[in-house]
Amino acid sequence: MTAARPVLLTGASGALGSMLAETLSEAGWGLVLTDLKPFPRALPPHARFSHADLCDQAAVAALAEGCGAIVHFGGVSTERPFEEVLGPNIGGLFHIYEAARLAGARVIFASSNHAIGFHERSTTLDADCELRPDTYYGLSKAYGELMGKLYWYKHGVESISIRIGSGFPEPSNRRMLSSWLSYADLARLVDAGLRATDIGCEVIWGASANSRSWWRHDSRAKLGWVPQDSTDDLVDALGNIVSDDPVTELYQGGHLCARDYSRAQPPLTPNRPEKTP
């Protein structure tokens, strides 16, 4: 994979996708942009846009032809009924990896902290921790990470799954003191993932340089990515901004853990032998 080959960016019309389209173009990448929705601004230099459905395997393969990498930010981006997640996030993800195999392309996959959301906030995690999805959306992200492993070990398709924490312009509550990923740090991470050599199949925590992080960042050095932003100077401003839901505040996945939650009490753990109030 070289900079001479264009990059296919799915989900290009979303908040993160459109930001990446601008920053990757500025970094010199030629881009093939795609989404179901129109691109929300003027196309950046050296970019073309095509409407495509991730559920259309032939369309995805045609867009990826000749590309050196697929930056996959498309699909359902929050919790929805399972049937709505199934097509784009399960079938569509398979189409992305098949297209990458055929094109000889690398995949950079927008995974999510919701793939591990039911780990408690008192726990510090490595990237190879147990998957504990908190929603159908999170389940689709766990599936995507496992798809990356399948295609690496069976087909040699390189991939990076970015387990994005809270990708917003600014942090807004206590949880984000640990999980926030700035737009600028995400752009630098994707660019580093495109330029790195011999990456194999990696999972990397998508978080800025937050000292309150719940995650060990052992993969950063391999990519040469050094996040430059941090929430550390916002502890006093945001530390008391919490919800009134004990399930939301217990787990790393936050409010999505509490959505449709039907247990009477969270299960006891070694880190928390007493029941949550």
Question: What structural domains does the chain harbor?
Answer: 7-258 (3.40.50.720)
Mean pLDDT of the 72-99 span: 98
- The pLDDT, as a whole number, for residue 277 is 61
Give the rounded percent of residues in the chain with a pLDDT score beyond 90: 94
- 55 contacts: CB under 8 Å, gap ≥ 6: 87, 88, 91, 92, 95
Categorize the per-residue pLDDT at 217 as very low, low, confident or very high, splitting at 50, 70 and 90: confident
Mean pLDDT across the chain: 96
Mean pLDDT of the 225-242 span: 97
pLDDT value at 185 more than 60? yes
- The pLDDT, as a whole number, for residue 1 is 40
Mean pLDDT of the 121-143 span: 97
Q: Which residues pair with 6 in a beta bridge?
A: none
Its pTM stands at 0.96
Buried b (16+ CB within 10 A) or exposed e, 194-233: bbbeebebbbbbbbbbbebbbbeeebeeebebebebbbee
Candidate list 136, 137, 151, 251, residue with the active-site label: 137
Is 137 in the active site?
yes
- The pLDDT, as a whole number, for residue 219 is 81
Tokens of 194: 């495109």
